[in-house]
């Protein structure tokens, strides 16, 4: 197979891999679970934690530093998503954002929520809570599975009672990139909101939320954005802030303290109203530094192109192995590709490859193995994967 890397790419990738030592200790093909931390994030996290240890965490200058960091990080996410700062809240992961949005709607018995059986628990479990608590009707489609036309499936499931559609931009369980803009247009025709799980999309493919037309976009920092655990963000379209009410309330939720019965309750005008739990500030600093590193030293367009090209390269390499069955057509995936190997259960293949320091994962439904091609990976990584699978097949 021909390499997809130019000589300039090769030099750049060498720099990236030197800055991400975890990817040199193993064949790192599982960014969809956790991306490798870059040294810049590690150094920033460590320096912030050291200053807290040595200088303490109290005093006005410290508080101002915290507040400035939160604003800076929100601004970096807003820039990445192409939206306004006021529409971004910081969270701890995608699931937190999905819960904020779904539980914030005014659900009544018989209201309908449309989702897919292939969705992640971060969307499925809040939907189950709405069914159990409010009597909402949850409609499970096959969107994301092969042989399912997502537009036709959604069109057939929508009704005037639909309050929300919960789907992923990129499916964790199949790798399918959904036609999000067209899906949003269908949902909006009946007045349903589109609440999008972006855990596998943001950082892997372009995620301009205005272009996509989504109402809510929840993301994690630790996956394709290669940031520390406990980091994430939530986009909520500005016009929807009054509609998605607070399930929890914290320091940033209200405009003023409510200390007397006569004090009016006024929620903040920005998405910070949903930031109800304290963040570990060293991790937030690492999140901010990684976003700047990805933007300034690597470039988002290069990241998206590189991730996609490697995904296609991996697809072609796996397709040449007798007994490997790729789940989706080549043109429906980016950096996540799913497959099975005849005679080897997905969980067993993950274990056998791990023993050879090749890191992939398996997903439960449908039962598949999954490879993530991060921008830092090389063609040699993929060749090592395919050589190991060939050996196991023998």
Of 44-53, 126-135, 269-278, 289-298, minimum mean pLDDT range:
269-278
Average pLDDT value for residue range 170-179 = 98
Work out the mean pLDDT of the chain and round it to a whole number.
96
Q: pLDDT category, 9, cuts 50, 70, 90?
A: confident
Q: Give residue limits of the domains in the chain.
A: 7-30+299-393, 47-295
Fold of 7-30+299-393: 3.90.1150
Q: pLDDT category, 196, cuts 50, 70, 90?
A: very high
Q: Taking the chain, what is the end-to-end CA distance rounded to the nearest angstrom?
A: 22
pLDDT of residue 7: 75
Residue range 347-370, pLDDT digits in tens: 999 999 999 999 999 999 999 999
pLDDT of residue 268: 87
Q: What percent of the chain has pLDDT over 90?
A: 90
**Class of CATH domain 47-295:** alpha beta
Q: Which residues pair with 166 in a beta bridge?
A: 195
Q: Is the pLDDT of residue 377 over 90?
A: yes
Q: What angle do CA 204, 230, 171 make, to 5 degrees?
A: 35
> What torsion, rounded to 10 degrees, do the Cα atoms 120, 126, 132, 135 define?
-100
Q: pLDDT category, 254, cuts 50, 70, 90?
A: confident
Q: Is the pLDDT of residue 261 over 70?
A: yes
Residue range 308-355, pLDDT digits in tens: 999 999 999 999 999 999 999 999 999 999 999 999 999 999 999 999
pLDDT of residue 102: 98
8 Å CB contact between 338 and 368: yes
Average pLDDT value for residue range 106-124 = 97
8 Å CB contact between 370 and 341: no
Q: Is the pLDDT of residue 213 over 60?
A: yes
Q: Is the pLDDT of residue 2 over 80?
A: no
pLDDT of residue 1: 63
pLDDT of residue 49: 97
8 Å CB contact between 27 and 358: yes
Q: What angle do CA 53, 55, 59 make, to 5 degrees?
A: 120
Burial of 319 (0-12, 13-18, 19+ CB in 10 A): middle
Residue 207: half-sphere exposure toward Cβ, Cα within 13 Å: 31
């Amino acid at each position: 197979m021909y390499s997809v890397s130019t000589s300039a790419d090769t030099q750049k990738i060498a720099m990236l891999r030197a800055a991400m030592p975890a990817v040199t200790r193993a064949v790192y093909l599982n960014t969809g679970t956790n991306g490798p931390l870059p040294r810049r994030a590690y150094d920033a996290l460590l320096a912030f934690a050291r200053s807290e240890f040595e200088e303490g965490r109290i005093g006005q200058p410290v508080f101002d530093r915290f507040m400035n960091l939160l604003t800076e990080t929100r601004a970096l996410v807003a820039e990445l998503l192409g939206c306004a700062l006021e529409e971004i809240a910081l969270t701890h992961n995608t699931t937190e954002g999905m819960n904020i949005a779904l539980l914030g709607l005014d659900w009544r018995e018989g209201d309908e929520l449309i989702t897919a059986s292939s969705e992640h628990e971060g969307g499925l479990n809040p939907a189950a809570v709405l069914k159990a608590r409010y009597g909402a009707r949850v409609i499970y489609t096959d969107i994301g599975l092969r042989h399912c036309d997502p537009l036709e499936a959604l069109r057939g499931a929508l009704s005037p009672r639909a309050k929300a559609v919960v789907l992923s931009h990129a499916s964790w369980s199949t790798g399918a990139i959904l036609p999000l803009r067209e899906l949003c247009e269908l949902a909006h025709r009946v007045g349903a909101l589109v609440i999008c799980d972006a855990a596998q999309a943001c950082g892997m493919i372009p995620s301009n939320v205005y272009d996509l037309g989504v109402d809510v976009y929840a993301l994690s920092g630790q996956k394709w954005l290669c940031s520390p655990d406990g980091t994430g963000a939530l986009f909520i379209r500005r016009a929807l802030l009054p509609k998605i009410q607070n399930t929890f309330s914290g320091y940033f939720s209200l405009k003023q303290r409510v200390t007397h019965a006569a004090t009016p309750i006024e929620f903040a005008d920005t998405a910070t109203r949903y930031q109800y739990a304290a963040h570990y500030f060293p991790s937030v600093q690492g999140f901010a530094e990684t976003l700047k590193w990805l933007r300034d030293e690597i470039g988002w367009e290069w990241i998206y192109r590189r991730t996609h090209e490697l995904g296609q390269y991996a697809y072609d390499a796996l397709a040449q192995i007798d007994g490997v069955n790729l789940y989706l057509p080549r043109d429906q995936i980016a950096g996540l590709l799913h497959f099975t190997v005849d005679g080897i259960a997905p969980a067993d293949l993950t274990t056998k490859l791990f023993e050879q320091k090749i890191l992939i994962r398996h997903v439960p439904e449908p039962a598949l193995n999954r490879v993530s091609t991060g921008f830092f990976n090389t063609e040699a990584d993929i060749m090592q994967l395919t050589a190991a699978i060939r050996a196991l097949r023998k």
